[in-house]
Amino acid sequence: MSSVAEKAADLARARRPFVHATVVRAQEPTSARPGDDAVILDDGSIEGFVGGVCAESSVRAAALDTLKDGNTLLLRVLPDDAAGFPETPGALVVVNPCHSGGAIEIFLRPVLPKPLLGVVGSTPIGRAVASLAEFLDFEVAPDSSFEGAAAVVVAGLGRDEEKAIRAALDASVPYVALVASHKRGAVVLDGMGLTEDERARVRPHAGLDIGARTPKEIALSILAEVVRELRANATSPDDMVHPKEPSPRQAVDPVCGMTVLIDDDTPHAVVDGQDYWFCRVGCRDSFVAA
């Protein structure tokens, strides 16, 4: 496998969101060729090759936007003297002011891990929850560590419930569902000495009221509530599967107008006490000399 393919496989195994960018068309003069590819992480870092510094900057910025909505995107990077090309659904046009004069098209595919769900208890309800969760494209946690889980369902029906709830709360799981009656659920939580914040993260009587009776129906009511809670608190698909990280800062190059991501390698200058960032050193030097 290529280094990019190996990196993508490693990221998938680590449940790290990323974008796979592939050059699908290139018009000379440009350094990129069809088939060149790269992965862009949610912190804006990139590994691989999809063109020079100006094209790469546009790819990184667009890739982060695809992680917000989970949709694929065809990015068209055109020279600044190119004829107008209309934007269409699923496509984005940006102007490349660098001097190569080439044009490229890059396909951006966001890769998001499935939401992780912890299920505790080998009871009929627990087994039904695990089975239905996989159908709903959740990944069922293989152990009880719950690290990175979006939700945990405790369906032990009296067995090891306090231990499982404590482990889920310590792992910062935002939603913990306890399968119990209203009365027994309150008794379990009252005896645990939870803080107000911890108590708010536990549903002592899991599931929406749909009149469920069988284990499969109860599992449906529980997962319906899990999905509702996750969707209500998520502003993007990534929020359901990955701890919220600060978005990389962006700035507009005052010389060429390109949007650039700010990191340690971004050309930077302070002029009259104000910070400016640039797509490349040439833009910075011309701005400082003006």
The pLDDT tens digits along the chain (290 residues) read 479 999 999 999 888 999 999 999 888 777 889 999 999 998 889 999 998 877 888 899 899 989 888 899 999 888 766 555 556 667 787 776 665 667 889 999 999 988 899 999 889 999 999 999 999 999 998 777 788 899 999 998 878 899 999 999 999 998 999 999 989 989 999 899 889 989 989 998 999 999 999 999 999 999 999 999 888 876 455 555 554 555 678 888 888 777 788 888 888 988 888 888 887 788 888 888 87
Nearest to 4 by CA among 46, 48, 34: 48
pLDDT of residue 17: 93
Question: What are the structural domains, with CATH classification, of the chain?
Answer: 3-113 (no CATH), 116-240 (3.40.50.720), 249-290 (no CATH)
In this structure, what are the phi and psi dihedrals at residue 200, rounded to the nearest 5 degrees? -70, -20
Q: Which two tokens stand for residue 123?
A: 């009871």
Q: Give the N- to C-terminal CA distance of the chain in Å, as an integer.
A: 48
How far apart are alpha carbons 129 and 197 in whole angstroms? 26
Roughly what angle, to the nearest 10 degrees, separates helices 161-170 and 182-190? 60
pLDDT of residue 97: 65
Cα-atom radius of gyration of the chain, to the nearest Å? 24
Q: Which two tokens stand for residue 32?
A: 């990129």
Identify residue 4 by its one-letter amino acid code.
V
The whole model's pTM is what? 0.68
260-273 b/e with 16+ CB inside 10 Å = b?
bbeeeebbeeeeee
How far apart are alpha carbons 206 and 155 in whole angstroms? 9
pLDDT of residue 243: 46
pLDDT of residue 152: 94
Q: Identify whether the C-beta of residue 286 lies closer than 8 Å to the C-beta of residue 99.
A: no
Find where tokens 């992680």 sit: 67
CA distances from 174 to 3, 201, 224 (A): 36, 6, 16
How far apart are alpha carbons 95 and 106 in whole angstroms? 14
